[in-house]
Amino acid sequence: MMSPLRVLVLNDNNSDAALIEQELIPAGMTVEKRSIQSADALRAALEELQPDVVLSDYTASGFSACDALDVLRYESPATPLILVSETINGLSAVSCLRNGAEDLVIKKNIRRLPAAITTAVERRGPLSKLTSRQVEVLRLVAEGHRTREIADKLSLSIKTVESHRGELMKRLGMHDVVSLVRYALRSGLVAITP
């Protein structure tokens, strides 16, 4: 039997958190609400709770969803972040989605949240098959670094980098570097700059 998905909600608003819990608990998910004010506080919460997914409004507690994405990208790349908001604020939504947010759920459509979480966790699942070194290599490949540059940055041999890249393709079920780059961008391992 599969254990329930662990959901970390970054939110100060108790009524919003209650609304989220009301949708997720019947779907068999466990919910933990935290008020996060800094990157260090998020790192500590990730270490303690090891959530499967993080939910956030654009600017929860003054610590924005984009700030949370920056932490997740390096600390827990397999953990997706889903925006849950009252409305769509064009610039904020686009910025967060470009930086790797997996989805955006409007509160009036909160019933779609359990399905959005399940889809996001499945999409990010392949990242959990990778070692931290493989994630580093994937990130550098997606940033456009050549094999020699990656080897120099990570103090590895060129053959070791090539081996990591081959293992990445095998574990992710991809057959070319373009697919790896697309996946890394889609998974938020690399921020998309305008």
What CATH number does the domain containing 78 carry?
3.40.50.2300
Scan for tokens 């931290």, then name that residue.
132
Q: Looking at residue 118, what is its pLDDT?
A: 93
- Per residue in 153-172, pLDDT tens? 999 999 999 999 999 999 99
CB 109 within 8 A of CB 24: no
Answer yes or no: do 111 and 182 share one domain.
no
Residue ending a domain, choose from 107, 124, 141:
124
What does 76-105 look like in DSSP terms, one character per residue? -TTS-EEEEESS--HHHHHHHHHTT--EEE
Answer yes or no: do 57 and 92 share one domain.
yes
H-helix or E-strand containing 167?
helix 158-172
- Per residue in 49-84, pLDDT tens? 999 999 988 665 567 888 898 899 889 999 999 998
Across 128-140, average pLDDT: 92
Q: Looking at residue 29, what is its pLDDT?
A: 93
Q: Looking at residue 57, what is its pLDDT?
A: 80
Asked if residue 23 belongs to a domain, the reply is: yes
Answer yes or no: do 99 and 17 share one domain.
yes
Confidence of residue 1 (pLDDT cuts 50, 70, 90): very low
Q: 58 to each of 19, 36, 99, how far by Cα in Å? A: 17, 13, 12
Answer yes or no: do 47 and 119 share one domain.
yes
Residue ending a domain, choose from 124, 156, 176:
124
Answer yes or no: do 110 and 14 share one domain.
yes
Q: Looking at residue 46, what is its pLDDT?
A: 94
Asked if residue 1 belongs to a domain, the reply is: no
Answer yes or no: do 120 and 180 share one domain.
no
Domains held by the chain: number: 2
Q: 45 to each of 42, 50, 51, 176, 194, how far by Cα in Å? A: 5, 8, 9, 36, 31
Domain harbouring 141, CATH code: 1.10.10.10
Asked if residue 174 belongs to a domain, the reply is: yes
Confidence of residue 2 (pLDDT cuts 50, 70, 90): low
Q: Looking at residue 34, what is its pLDDT?
A: 87
Q: Is the pLDDT of residue 18 over 80?
A: yes
Q: Looking at residue 64, what is its pLDDT?
A: 83
3-state helix, strand, coil in the chain (%, to 5): 60, 10, 30
Answer yes or no: do 30 and 92 share one domain.
yes
Answer yes or no: do 136 and 113 share one domain.
no
Residue ending a domain, choose from 102, 124, 146:
124
Give me the domain span that covers residue 120.
6-124
Q: Looking at residue 119, what is its pLDDT?
A: 92
Q: Is the pLDDT of residue 136 over 60?
A: yes
pTM of the model: 0.85
State the chain's mean pLDDT as an integer: 87
Answer yes or no: do 155 and 60 share one domain.
no
Answer yes or no: do 173 and 85 share one domain.
no
Q: Looking at residue 123, what is its pLDDT?
A: 87
Q: 181 to each of 7, 13, 125, 154, 174, how far by Cα in Å? A: 28, 37, 17, 19, 10
